[in-house]
Structure 1
Amino acid sequence: MSNKDGCHHCRTPLSGVKYTVQDDDPYCVMCYNHLFANMCEDCNKAIGWDSKDLAYKDRHWHEACFKCAQCSHSLVEKPFAAKMDLLLCLGCYSDEYSSKCFSCKNPIMPGSRKVEFNGNSWHETCFICKDCKQPIGAKSFIPKDSEDYCLQCFERQFASQCKSCKKAITTEGVTYQGQPWHKECFLCSRCQKQLAGQKCTSRDKVIYCLDCFSALYSRRCVACAKPIASDGVAKYVSFEAHEWHSDCFSCTKCEESLVGKRFIKNQESVFCLECAKGLHMQA
């Protein structure tokens, strides 16, 4: 390295004096400090060429000035935290600013993994399930009576069990005759149609939609042989253990409706009085 031309800035000869190089050009100490040295945030003096320059977020310190703003302990090669442009050792930062773990009451150090819920904070390892005592971490959990449970423990202890699949009901469910069901499990046992929100009935503890129940068990009309609905909506006529839809209860011969009228029954047939006379029947 040649210094025959002297300081690149002031041209002062550098022979026999201390100098430094910046961008391959030599500078005397005074010019280097004036042109290139950063100012220390603590003492507000230049950080000379022969001093160690410690930097954090475009701010610079002498090595001896890089210390905690509260306890003055050196922060060189030590973890630290920043608060309102002040550098603090972790101990001072924790005492002043760190949240306290809701469980162990100790500070949650900067950079530590933590869980926040309902305005409280926990160390990640302190946020545990009330039942199994395992850390919940980022997994799903359910609070109950000021305690927190992982999803598996909550389902095992508190969730209703579906009457059909025997699994916990954690979302939408249906209650029928005092028994809980998943909405998707509450089906007609015959046609497998979903019954949630629909009218249904049961027989011998087996659940049916009304159509299937009628097809299997309802009384049948003597005239048309179709089921007479058992939901109380359809009108029907009953006589001597036989039943007819109201619309089907008519004279077998003239087909005149017999609802509310006198009639004659002959085996499975019914006749109005006029037609019965022609058949030599008596009312």
Structure 2
Amino acid sequence: MTTVQFDCQYCTASLLGKKYVLRDDSPYCVSCYDHIFSNYCEECKEPIESDSKDLCYKDRHWHEGCFKCTKCKHSLVEKPFAAKDERLLCTECYSNECSSRCFHCKRTIMPGSRKMEFKGNYWHETCFVCEHCRQPIGTKPLISKDNGNYCVLCFEKEFAQHCNFCKKVITSGGVTFRDQLWHKECFLCSGCRKELCDEAFMSKDDYPFCLDCYHYLYAKKCAACFKPITGLRGAKFICFQDRQWHSECFNCGKCSVSLVGEGFLTHNKEIFCRRCGSGADADI
């Protein structure tokens, strides 16, 4: 009768009637198998022997009893978990440590739940609501005022001012004139209708005009050069009876010397210095 030889692949000890482990079709006694092939547990640093369950995550290994949340020490076996900086955390600890907190209720925004972001802060979707109607804003347009967020409809009802020209809501910016508001694009010259937002302008009877229109329609004309006398930027002018002159135009009609601050004579519609006018039929 022939005896079948059945030995350990490593130590060559007979495995007949003994417990063994088969690896790559080769038999090993339990002692040799554990010595050669066992992984070491990340938690206790002991080998995970063949009679223990080996739990693996990203090439790291744990005993079943060592596979726990790093923070609360609760078992993670067959439970959802997350990894942070090579630490394993249960979902609750991960949320408390790593997740955003709601700007409104200050509670954790759990992973997987929808969160809203606005101006660098986060809200639960149900906490991101209009300050007035308390309805969720979601991704709808909103307007912020005094640290509160409002849906457009509520903001218009509660706070918005209306353009004096088009009567529509002014949501930001605008131009104030005579204690009334205009959209920048609605603040126009009453004459030529060009925008005045970035232009110098003047007013007449509470209506704004660009300088060209105002000068054309209302400015006095110089009796010498017939150009408008605006008085802008401190420009000086001379008035005599019902006539006006630019200060630089107030000159003798004969010798052209300046008469500003000097005595002068008039003859018909002309003005003269005393020397030029003394020989004429002039009136003082």
Q: Normalising to structure 1: TM-score of the pair?
A: 0.68
Contact 2:160–2:169 (8 Å) recurs in 1: no
Q: Which amino acid aligns with 1:176?
A: F
Distance 1:195 1:42, change over 3 A: closer
Contact 2:142–2:149 (8 Å) recurs in 1: no
* Rounded Cα–Cα distance in structure 1 between residues aligned with 2:70 and 2:250: 101
Q: Which amino acid aligns with 1:53?
A: D
Is the partner of 1:134 in helix, strand or coil? coil
Deviation at 1:228, TM superposition (A): 0.7
Corresponding position of 2:22: 20
Corresponding position of 1:35: 36
Deviation at 1:241, TM superposition (A): 1.6
Q: Which amino acid aligns with 2:33?
A: Y
> Once the two structures are superposed, what CA deviation does each residue of 1:245-280 show, in whole Å capped at 9, x if it has no partner?
2222333344344443231241x3334555556554
Contact 1:214–1:230 (8 Å) recurs in 2: no
* Rounded Cα–Cα distance in structure 2 between residues aligned with 1:254 and 1:96: 93
Q: What is the identity percentage for the equivalent residue pairs of Structure 1 and Structure 2? A: 49
Deviation at 1:216, TM superposition (A): 2.7
In the TM superposition, 1:137-152 aligns within 5 A as 142=144, 144=146, 147-149=148-150
Contact 2:9–2:27 (8 Å) recurs in 1: yes
Distance 1:33 1:164, change over 3 A: farther
Q: Which amino acid aligns with 2:218?
A: Y
* Rounded Cα–Cα distance in structure 2 between residues aligned with 1:244 and 1:38: 105
Q: Which amino acid aligns with 2:170?
A: A
Q: Which moved more, 1:90-99 or 1:62-71?
A: 90-99
Deviation at 1:135, TM superposition (A): 4.2
Contact 2:264–2:271 (8 Å) recurs in 1: no
Contact 2:231–2:237 (8 Å) recurs in 1: no
Task: Determine if the alignment matches structure 1 residue 210 to structure 2 residue 211.
Answer: yes
* Rounded Cα–Cα distance in structure 2 between residues aligned with 1:65 and 1:275: 118
In the TM superposition, 1:1-283 aligns within 5 A as 6-12=7-13, 18-22=20-24, 26-41=27-42, 45-49=46-50, 51-56=52-57, 58-63=59-64, 65-67=66-68, 74-81=75-82, 89-90=90-91, 108-110=109-111, 112-114=113-115, 122-132=123-133, 133-136=135-138, 142=144, 144=146, 147-149=148-150, 154=155, 157-158=158-159, 160-163=161-164, 166-170=168-172, 173-181=174-182, 188=189, 190=192, 192=194, 194-196=196-198, 199-231=200-232, 233-259=234-260, 260-266=262-268, 268-272=269-273, 275-276=276-277, 278-283=279-284
* Rounded Cα–Cα distance in structure 1 between residues aligned with 2:126 and 2:103: 12
Q: Which amino acid aligns with 1:127?
A: F
Measured on the aligned residues, the alpha-carbon RMSD in Å equals 4.6
Distance 1:60 1:111, change over 3 A: farther
* Rounded Cα–Cα distance in structure 2 between residues aligned with 1:31 and 1:152: 77
Distance 1:86 1:238, change over 3 A: closer
Distance 1:142 1:265, change over 3 A: same
Deviation at 1:34, TM superposition (A): 1.8
* Rounded Cα–Cα distance in structure 2 between residues aligned with 1:277 and 1:70: 110
> Once the two structures are superposed, what CA deviation does each residue of 1:52-89 show, in whole Å capped at 9, x if it has no partner?
42223554233455355788765333223568987554
Deviation at 1:237, TM superposition (A): 2.4
> Once the two structures are superposed, what CA deviation does each residue of 1:9-61 show, in whole Å capped at 9, x if it has no partner?
33445566532225x75544333322222234566653344654222355423
Deviation at 1:219, TM superposition (A): 0.2
Q: Which amino acid aligns with 1:252?
A: G
> Once the two structures are superposed, what CA deviation does each residue of 1:106-159 show, in whole Å capped at 9, x if it has no partner?
6543554546899986434323232352144798763625x4335775566435
* Rounded Cα–Cα distance in structure 2 between residues aligned with 1:19 and 1:32: 7
Distance 1:195 1:143, change over 3 A: closer
* Rounded Cα–Cα distance in structure 1 between residues aligned with 2:222 and 2:71: 96
Q: Which amino acid aligns with 1:60?
A: H
Is the partner of 2:47 in helix, strand or coil? coil
Distance 1:247 1:123, change over 3 A: closer
* Rounded Cα–Cα distance in structure 2 between residues aligned with 1:105 and 1:249: 76
